[in-house]
Every structure is written in C-alpha cells, then in structure tokens.
Amino acid sequence: MDEPKVQAFRPPVISLLTDFGTRDAFVGIMKGVILSINPAVALVDLSHDVPPQDITAGALLLRSAAGFFPPGTIHVAVVDPGVGSARRALLVETHTAFFVGPDNGLLSLAAPADTVVRIVHLTNAEYFLTARSHTFHGRDVFAPVAAHVSLGKAPEQFGPSLTAMERLTLPKVEYHAAGLTGSVIYIDHFGNVITNITAADLQPFPKESLLVSMDDMQIQGVVASYAAVEVGAPAVLINSWGMLEIAVRNGSAAQRFGVLPGHPVHLTLT
C-alpha cells in the first residue's frame, strides 16, 4: 500500500472542551466559526460531556490531555456559568500551548503559573463575531479568537496583558504519622475513582504494605494494572493521570463503593 512520504503542511491543532453536550450542534457551530476563519486547522474534541457548570472536572480533564498535544496547540475550553457577566475572557500562552476560555479557573490546572508566558484579557472585539450573543461566547468570542491565534496573530493583539488569572485549588493531601489522607477528585466513564494522591506521594512507601481505605472498604497493596486482580475484584493503582485510582476490574468502583468527588480516602502503612 502507498503511504505518503512527504508532509506538505503542518496544520495547527485546535482542541475543544466544553459542557455543551453533543446533542445540540453548539460544538459543530464553534467548528464552523473556526473553519470560516482558518480552513486548515485540525480540530480535536477533548470532551463535551463535562458535567454542566463543573469547572473543576473540566480543568482536570484539560490538564490530563494538554501535555499529549503538539507544541503550539490551541486548547479552547468553555465551562462558563458566568457567561454574560463581568467574568473576563482569556487567552493564556504557556511555553508549549495556548489556552482560550473564561477566567473562572477552568484553564488554571493545565497552565500552572510557572509555565505561563502571558495572560491576555480578550477585549479586542475586532476578533469576535459581529452579532454577539450574551449566552454563547464559545461561538462568538472563544472560537474566533482561537482561529485567529491559529493563523499566527500575536497574543498582544487580542487585548491587554494581565498579571494573574483565577486559579482553582484542589483539595490537599494531608500527611500523618500513620500515612496520609486524600480525597476523590473525579469519577471516569468506567466508574474508576480517581483521587488527588499522586505517584510522588506514594514514593516513600513499599507498594505492597499500603492499606487503602474508604469508609469500610479496605484494599491491601497497590498493583500495576487492572489485570493484576480477578474480574470483579477491587484494585488500587497509579492511573494514566499519574494519580492513585480505586477500580473494580471490568466493573464500576464508583457504583460498588457509592462514592462521589470529595469523598475522603485514607492510606496507612501496614
């Protein structure tokens, strides 16, 4: 079979993350706006099923994904309960990427302060759609700005620079003599329960001697993969985000243990 040997053109990538769902054409409309300005972008959906108005879930997903995209990727994120209010619209440039979205913390986990080159307050209406609504800045502000960024327009042209943006603070892990206490931050599609405890938090401890407990559930040892336990059995592992996760092989841990984000998780050394 013939395979192309030469790359004619490296299209810029624009990723999209929203809580718009995929039923109503909102996301398709944003893509139409982008392609009307720059027909040669590669568009990638991160997720449009962020729980409505759940800024933290959106911020975690954006952080989980951004590092795997080509340098210069433009990530548009819209979970925006304050649309139409005084909340600011932002373009954030980091060492490796651009982020476009509302100033409500959504962009903050993917763009930690030490990676930020510039934060621009989007005020230059020249780059917005003309017939602007008060309810859909994804279409009217964020999509056209992202498209213009993908054409190489300099960030300064979109508005004045800011010294800071809204930042989310995730719950912190607490360290005790006997171990540590973290909490559930996200439940994924499979019902896997993801905590705020990182691989680095576990580094000091031998993996087999850790006891993970959540209410009256107790699991001994951290394993390498789901396949290390029997079908239907619970497993604790470091997941693809680099975080401690409680799973049930081929099942839903969230359902089995009845937990939601915010639920405490204890690690003790046995």
Residue 28 and residue 17 in contact, taking contact as beta carbons nearer than 8 Å: no
Using DSSP's 3-state secondary structure scheme, residue 108 falls into coil
Interacting positions 115-134 with a copy of itself (CB under 8 A): 133-134
The reply on whether position 27 binds a copy of itself by CB under 8 A is yes
The reply on whether position 71 binds a copy of itself by CB under 8 A is yes
Instruction: Give the position of tokens 């934060």.
Output: 119
Q: How far apart are CA 53 and CA 45, in angstroms?
A: 18
Applying CB under 8 A, what is the total number of residues that bind a copy of itself? 85
Question: What type of residue is 19?
Answer: D
The reply on whether position 189 binds a copy of itself by CB under 8 A is yes
* Shortest reach from residue 100's CB to a copy of itself, in Å: 15
* Shortest reach from residue 118's CB to a copy of itself, in Å: 12
* Shortest reach from residue 228's CB to a copy of itself, in Å: 7
Interacting positions 77-106 with a copy of itself (CB under 8 A): 81-85, 87
Residue 114 or 134: which CB sits closer to a copy of itself?
Answer: 134
Give all strands (DSSP E) within the chain, no chain letters. Answer: 13-18, 42-47, 73-78, 89-94, 97-102, 116-121, 161-162, 174-175, 179-187, 193-198, 210-214, 217-220, 234-238, 243-248, 264-269
Interacting positions 133-152 with a copy of itself (CB under 8 A): 133-136, 139-140, 149-152
Residue 268 and residue 213 in contact, taking contact as beta carbons nearer than 8 Å: yes
Residue 1 or 177: which CB sits closer to a copy of itself?
Answer: 1
The reply on whether position 161 binds a copy of itself by CB under 8 A is no
Kindly report the backbone phi and psi dihedral angles of residue 143, in degrees, each rounded to the nearest multiple of 5, phi listed first. -65, -50
CA atoms within 13 A on the CB side of 61: 25
Residue 225 or 270: which CB sits closer to a copy of itself?
Answer: 225
Residue 218 or 250: which CB sits closer to a copy of itself?
Answer: 250
Taking 3-state DSSP, the helix, strand and coil percentages for the chain, each rounded to the nearest 5, stand at 25, 30, 45
Q: Among 35, 116, 162, 217, indicate the residue that binds a copy of itself (CB under 8 A).
A: 35
Question: Strand pairing of 116-121 and 174-175?
Answer: unpaired
Interacting positions 37-66 with a copy of itself (CB under 8 A): 38-40, 42-50, 52-53, 61-62, 64-65
The reply on whether position 203 binds a copy of itself by CB under 8 A is no
* Shortest reach from residue 216's CB to a copy of itself, in Å: 26
Q: Among 123, 225, 255, 270, indicate the residue that binds a copy of itself (CB under 8 A).
A: 225
Residue 134 or 177: which CB sits closer to a copy of itself?
Answer: 134
**Which range binds a copy of itself by CB under 8 A, 67-75, 171-179, 209-217, 258-266?**
67-75
* Shortest reach from residue 241's CB to a copy of itself, in Å: 9
Instruction: Give the position of tokens 């997903």.
Output: 61
In order of 20, 29, 35, 186, 200, the CA distances from 24 in angstroms are 8, 9, 19, 26, 42
- Both structure tokens of 35: 């392609």
